[in-house]
Structure 1
Amino acid sequence: MSTRRTRVAVIGAGAVGTMAAAAAHDAGHHVVLYARRRPPRLVIERDDTHRHLDIPVIVDPADAQPADWILLTTKAQDTRSAAKAWFDRLLDPHTTVVALQNGVDHHERLQPLMPTATGLVPALVMIAAEVLAPGHVLHRFGGTITVPDTHAGTRFARLLGGSDITVETTADFHTAAWRKLLINAAANPITAVTTQRMGVLQNPSVRHLARALLDEVRAVGVATGAHLTDNDIRHTFHLYDGMAPDDGTSMLYDRLAGRTTEHELITGAVVRLGDTHHVPVPLNRAVLALLRGADHK
């Protein structure tokens, strides 16, 4: 009987990719990290401890080998370039792709880039982590991934069993994705535009803006069929208030590092779907214009 370990390819060596690679390694699998550049080391810092990871990193697609699982952890705007670089080498007829990315359009974003029969699991990541330097990740808090309650989703939950990341399944992934978008849709753009960390949301006028942005997001989500209520907005603010003032967001980290932000997949998605469903979103539209301006080169 074969004792071959499950082959897990993690695309993207950012905060989520490093955390996911460590989890798959801890679960006992053969893990390879695929990235554009090789970091000098892989380190996860948490609670004043430093864990050094012994996981191979490959930067040349010619060296890639087919995998049983692909964990795609790049920013959503980098999906097409990552797929073009790696999918031809990593995919075989039995590969399942897990999209650990923000947004509410995982299938629309990825399915055109894969063979029709390839399994796809959209995933919502609730892990607050920051890249301090290439390969050096500070894990601030959180350790949950949510996936659809499907056969492939359940298999993925088993894949990371025994690691410090918990994979939860849900029968209503559409609503779960919009709840995650609520969390992103105020804190991410506000911190990115102001270049301030989460403490900025304690300013009364900023908090008022955040509430108004989320009211628009909720209305759009409901129009798409998501079961969102005012309790979801209250829960979002509860999460914000539980964060330390010096915590940040993924869009803030990208802005500070001079990278392109995910505004089109977060605020942009709200505006586009608002237009599609005839839901007015004037505040999200204004914030999107500011984000595009900040990102202009």
Structure 2
Amino acid sequence: MPPIPQVPQTPPAAAAGRIAVIGAGAIGGYAAALAQWAGLDVTLCVRSPLDGLTVESGGTVRTAAVRIATEPAGVAPVDWVLLTTKAQDTAGAEGWLRRLCGPGTAVAVLQNGVGLEERVAPYVPEGTAILPSAVFISAERTAPGRILHHVASELHVPEGPLADRFAALLAGSELRVRPVADFTTTSWRKLFTNIAANPITALLQQRIGVFADPGMAAMTRDLLREAAAVARAEGADIGERDVEGTLEIYAAAPPDGGSSMLYDRLAGRPLEHEYITGAVVEAGERHGIDTPLNRMLLTLLRAIDRDLQDDRDLRDGSA
């Protein structure tokens, strides 16, 4: 196999804004790199030191000259914070958020699930502007600081002045910001892409190609129909077209692609099930809508997550 071409690092253009990205997973690393290549001043906030940041996309590897910060004490307020941690790690980002948010700072939340503003509000200074985002990016972290981008580079956000500011900030990058009028529908539509793909690939430890099986596709259709009923009760315009559209997305995706939950399980990290499958089950309970397939998946995911936690405890105890 011929070597993957490396694109030499070039000095960034004059910075048009100061950005801090909290989290160096697939989404955080990818977003930080694209912002830096567009000439923005980017600080990547991580728990453990990195020896650099590279992104492979379309067979080409590029290096991003981002600043790496490992302690909240070492950062100061910026114009924009991109919160890209997993949903379950939001509280753990509070130290970063308190240091990075000053007067005029806005926080864009690039996480899975719904209710992003309510999730983040307790951990930022009162009055901080929060912009929820539906993330349409397929990428995985193959090693610390090493990101493999598969497909898509879009963030859908609720339209308004804050969305316009965010779109202008990233206008020179390959990360497209798309303001939408009905963000409730958008956020549930994005959740749809995760509701089946994430738990099923994680449980089976298989890639997206598993949905080519007719029996799996039929079960997925029933799973999504449960979620569609819940989404409508939550005020989203979700129907059968979204069920079939999600199945079409799975069919068109590269069969060797995965999901963030699959990557987390393979790496032994905590799973995000409570904010994906759990969001469907919880909302269903609020509205009196039964969700037996989603409840079954949630029960299985919780069991796996407990086992992963036990494995982490054993490793930590033997260190």
Contact 2:22 2:45 in 1 (8 A): yes
d(CA) in 2 for partners of 1:4, 1:208: 50
Q: Which runs of 5+ in 1 are unaligned?
A: none
- State the match for 1:264 in structure 2: 274
SS at structure 1 position matched to 2:122: helix
Amino acid at match of 2:65: D
Q: How does 1:230-241 map to 2 (within 5 A)?
A: 230-241=240-251
Match of residue 121, structure 2, among 111, 116, 127: 111
- State the match for 1:171 in structure 2: 181
Contact 2:20 2:78 in 1 (8 A): yes
Contact 1:26 1:163 in 2 (8 A): yes
- Indicate how the Cα distance of structure 1 residues 24 and 151 shifts in structure 2: closer, same or farther if over 3 A, else same: same
- State the match for 2:23 in structure 1: 12
Q: How does 1:1-297 map to 2 (within 5 A)?
A: 5-83=16-94, 85-296=95-306, 297=310
d(CA) in 1 for partners of 2:57, 2:30: 11
1:244, distance to aligned residue in structure 2 (A): 1.5
Amino acid at match of 1:260: P
d(CA) in 2 for partners of 1:91, 1:167: 22
d(CA) in 1 for partners of 2:173, 2:302: 38
Amino acid at match of 2:242: D
1:5, distance to aligned residue in structure 2 (A): 4.1
SS at structure 2 position matched to 1:264: helix
d(CA) in 1 for partners of 2:243, 2:183: 18
d(CA) in 1 for partners of 2:131, 2:276: 20
Identity, % of aligned pairs? 47
Contact 2:16 2:169 in 1 (8 A): no
1:197, distance to aligned residue in structure 2 (A): 0.5
d(CA) in 1 for partners of 2:126, 2:217: 44
1:4, distance to aligned residue in structure 2 (A): 7.4
d(CA) in 1 for partners of 2:60, 2:34: 17
1:40, distance to aligned residue in structure 2 (A): 2.1
1:241, distance to aligned residue in structure 2 (A): 0.6
SS at structure 2 position matched to 1:211: helix
Contact 2:82 2:109 in 1 (8 A): yes
Contact 2:20 2:45 in 1 (8 A): yes
d(CA) in 2 for partners of 1:115, 1:103: 22
d(CA) in 2 for partners of 1:180, 1:235: 11
Name whichever of 26-35 and 223-232 sits farther off.
Answer: 26-35
1:115, distance to aligned residue in structure 2 (A): 2.2
Q: Which runs of 5+ in 2 are unaligned?
A: 1-13, 311-319
TM-score, normalised on structure 2?
0.90
d(CA) in 2 for partners of 1:14, 1:262: 14
Structure 1 segments, 4+ long, off by >4 Å, are none
For residues 26-67 of structure 1, give each alpha carbon's deviation from its aligned partner in whole angstroms, at most 9, with x where no partner exists.
Answer: 332211110111222211011221101111110011111111
Contact 1:27 1:159 in 2 (8 A): no
Contact 2:21 2:82 in 1 (8 A): yes
Amino acid at match of 2:294: N
d(CA) in 2 for partners of 1:40, 1:212: 45
d(CA) in 2 for partners of 1:231, 1:4: 43
Contact 2:217 2:247 in 1 (8 A): no
Contact 1:10 1:71 in 2 (8 A): yes
1:193, distance to aligned residue in structure 2 (A): 0.6
SS at structure 1 position matched to 2:137: strand
SS at structure 1 position matched to 2:272: coil
